[in-house]
Amino acid sequence: MALSRGTKTGIVASVFTVMLVVAGYGAYNIWSALGKDDGPGANSPSAMNSPISSAPPSAKEVHSAATAFLAAWASGDDTKASALTDSPQTAGAALASYRSDGHVTSLKITPTTESGDQVSYDVAATVSAQGITKPWSYTATLTAVRSYGNKVVVKWQPSVLHPELGPGESIVTGVASLPDVDIVDRNGHVMDLSAYPSLGDIADQLRSRYGATLKGQGTPPVETYIAAGDGTPDKALVTLRKGVSAHLRTTLDPAAQAAAEKAVTAHPNSGVTALDTRTGGILAVAFNPSGSQNLALQSLEAPGSTFKVVTATALLNTGKVTPSTHSQCVDGYAAKGGKPYHNVTPDNRNADFAWDFANSCNTGFIRLSDDLTPSSLTSTGRTYYGLGATWYTGVSTSDGSIPGGTGDEKTSEMIGQGQVVMTTLNMASVSATVVDGRFHQPTILQDTRLIKNRADIGTSPLPAGVQYDLKLMMHKTVTSGTAYAAMHTLSGTVGAKTGSAEHGTGTTNGWFTGYRNHVAAAAMVLNGGEGVDSAGPIVASVLASTS
């Protein structure tokens, strides 16, 4: 598999020797297809004016075209090989670059399998630079097509040379202008990324964005690599000589990351993020499946009742609502002129606001909707939690949104539905803000000066009384509310909020956010049902791993 690297500098090539091995191709003469009709004349004006048949190439034609091309390529005859393609000029330049810029000093090509119009082949080469020679092997596939004059030729595309080679890219052997970059955890130890599958793309992003800032550290390797040519990271294919890696210090915590990786394996389509409440440092990011969209940092979904932390902030900040404010919990309640809302929680006509919060009663919140303006949730989220602003965290993230509104939109947003969308990073940050009393823009780098465009978002600290009430209600959610099953065994200072979010039809998405001491986390499980059962154990596992 290719690994991302920095830009490389090429080295002058040396001797080039070649060989073609035909395996499983019987006694067929591999040179029989190299007669006069296969040369440049195949693309002569008369041939080019001939109509191209729509009939697919026969197996014999595919076999003949592929074998002839591979023989010419292996022999080092770029002119002959390129003439056996549908794009001789482009192919000729690419084939010549492969040998010269790639410093390929020997080449053996073994055709292996044919399937329809495609032929696969094994390439065994050696590359040589700075007195070092290394073997290089891989498997590639070509496609045969009809061209002018109804000749069957190789369809030229970069992947003929190497399966990972794309348009505008080339293969080069050279000395890296930058050293490799090791990802270092918050304790100063190099992370073994093979143990953390969710960090693969994140590590690539970090190397791409910040590798150039580490000049002066380490020594670059000598490699054969794919040069992108557009500023994106090069991809190492063969290491001829290792360098000494530079170190990029992150905020990641190995214990929390390991716990997060393990926890998400229990739920397909899940993601979790954990933060240091004192700094906003990202301690862990994990999602399942790990090769898909980052469900922790980039997937925007309605957060359900976990968003009631923000709604409670807005209500408490009016001065009209306290934890002891009476707001009965009765299923089917509708605000004036609005739609009815339903609860999972049993009715409680004696409920106060703290009970409604801890037991996630939707209608207990909706009854208080007149205390909020159409923009109350939007302004509260932005002022105290940084929601709606652009966050620059050091890696690609999506930003939550609270549009605000009137009528059913306002009441839906109060319970984390409507047009409100968040990531697990956003909701982990909400809990972190409750704990610390003020918003800290999340970061994955210890040195935030490296993060381009990062600036103070301009939030205000939570009013002391509001913070106190929020912590009281989140703690009550753990001790006697909907988060009890997931969190009651955790020691220390704890708090949480459960959630489940509707998304059309079918099973709801499960959400959960919580904190323990100075660590906050949030998780989401798509189609997970009740948050306490799906996302709750994920958050609890991550929090339990931290001291």
The number of C-alpha atoms within 13 Å of 333 and in the hemisphere containing its C-beta is 21
Measured CA to CA in angstroms, residue 518 lies from 199, 220, 393 at distances of 23, 39, 19
Please report the pLDDT score of residue 51 as a whole number. Answer: 65
Contact 157, 130 (CB under 8 A): no
Bridge partners for 128 per DSSP: 133
Query: Which structure tokens are listed for 491?
Result: 């020691």
Whole-prediction pTM value? 0.79
Any domain includes 295: yes
- Taken as a whole, the chain contains a residue count of 547
The last residue of a domain, from among 145, 174, 203: 174
Please report the pLDDT score of residue 14 as a whole number. Answer: 34
Quote the CA–CA distance of 318 and 195 in Å, as a whole number. 48
The last residue of a domain, from among 136, 155, 174: 174
Any domain includes 130: yes
How many Å is the Cα radius of gyration of the chain? 31
Spatial CB neighbours of 36, under 8 Å, sequence gap ≥ 6: none
Any domain includes 2: no
Any domain includes 3: no
Bridge partners for 16 per DSSP: none
Chain centroid to CA 393:
14
What own/partner pairs with CB < 8 Å and gap ≥ 24 does 200-203 have? 200/290, 200/291, 201/294, 202/285, 202/294, 202/395, 202/444
- Do 436 and 480 belong together in one domain? yes
Quote the CA–CA distance of 524 and 270 in Å, as a whole number. 6
Quote the CA–CA distance of 44 and 50 in Å, as a whole number. 10
- Do 310 and 455 belong together in one domain? yes
- Do 436 and 314 belong together in one domain? yes
* Segment holding 471, helix H or strand E: helix 464-480
Any domain includes 399: yes
Quote the CA–CA distance of 281 and 446 in Å, as a whole number. 8
The last residue of a domain, from among 234, 249, 264: 249
DSSP 481: S
Which 3 state secondary structure label does DSSP give 495?
A: strand
Contact 274, 284 (CB under 8 A): yes
Helix %, strand %, coil % for the chain, to 5? 35, 25, 45
- Do 244 and 266 belong together in one domain? no
Quote the CA–CA distance of 543 and 541 in Å, as a whole number. 6
Among 378, 385, 429, 418, residue whose Cα is nearest residue 402: 378
Query: Which structure tokens are listed for 489?
Result: 């065994």
Q: Could you give the number of structural domains in the chain?
A: 3
- Do 490 and 390 belong together in one domain? yes
Quote the CA–CA distance of 522 and 520 in Å, as a whole number. 7
State the Cα torsion 68-69-74-79 to the nearest 10°: 110
- Do 133 and 185 belong together in one domain? no
Among 236, 248, 179, residue whose Cα is nearest residue 210: 248
408: CATH: 3.40.710.10
Any domain includes 69: yes
pLDDT in tens, 52-63: 777 899 999 999
Any domain includes 224: yes
- Do 488 and 453 belong together in one domain? yes
The number of C-alpha atoms within 13 Å of 286 and in the hemisphere containing its C-beta is 31
- Do 408 and 462 belong together in one domain? yes
Pairing of strands 132-146, 118-129: antiparallel
Any domain includes 262: yes
Quote the CA–CA distance of 485 and 460 in Å, as a whole number. 34
Quote the CA–CA distance of 360 and 530 in Å, as a whole number. 11
165: CATH: 3.10.450.50
Pairing of strands 104-115, 17-20: parallel
- Do 333 and 285 belong together in one domain? yes
Which 3 state secondary structure label does DSSP give 437?
A: coil
pLDDT truncated to tens, each residue of the chain (547 aa)?
444 554 443 333 333 334 454 443 332 333 323 333 344 444 455 455 556 777 899 999 999 999 999 999 999 999 999 999 999 999 999 999 999 999 999 999 999 999 999 999 999 999 999 999 999 999 999 999 998 878 999 999 999 999 999 999 999 999 877 788 999 999 999 999 999 999 999 999 999 899 888 877 888 899 999 988 776 777 899 999 999 999 999 999 999 999 999 999 999 999 999 999 999 999 999 999 987 889 999 999 999 999 999 999 999 999 999 999 999 999 999 998 899 999 999 999 999 999 999 999 999 999 999 999 999 999 999 999 999 999 999 999 999 999 999 999 999 999 999 999 999 999 999 999 999 999 999 999 999 999 999 999 999 999 999 999 999 999 999 999 999 999 999 999 999 999 999 998 789 999 999 999 999 999 999 999 999 999 999 999 999 999 7
Quote the CA–CA distance of 172 and 524 in Å, as a whole number. 43
- Do 233 and 115 belong together in one domain? no
- Do 164 and 49 belong together in one domain? yes
- Do 193 and 278 belong together in one domain? no
The whole domain housing 207 covers 181-249
* Segment holding 544, helix H or strand E: helix 535-544
* Segment holding 67, helix H or strand E: helix 59-75
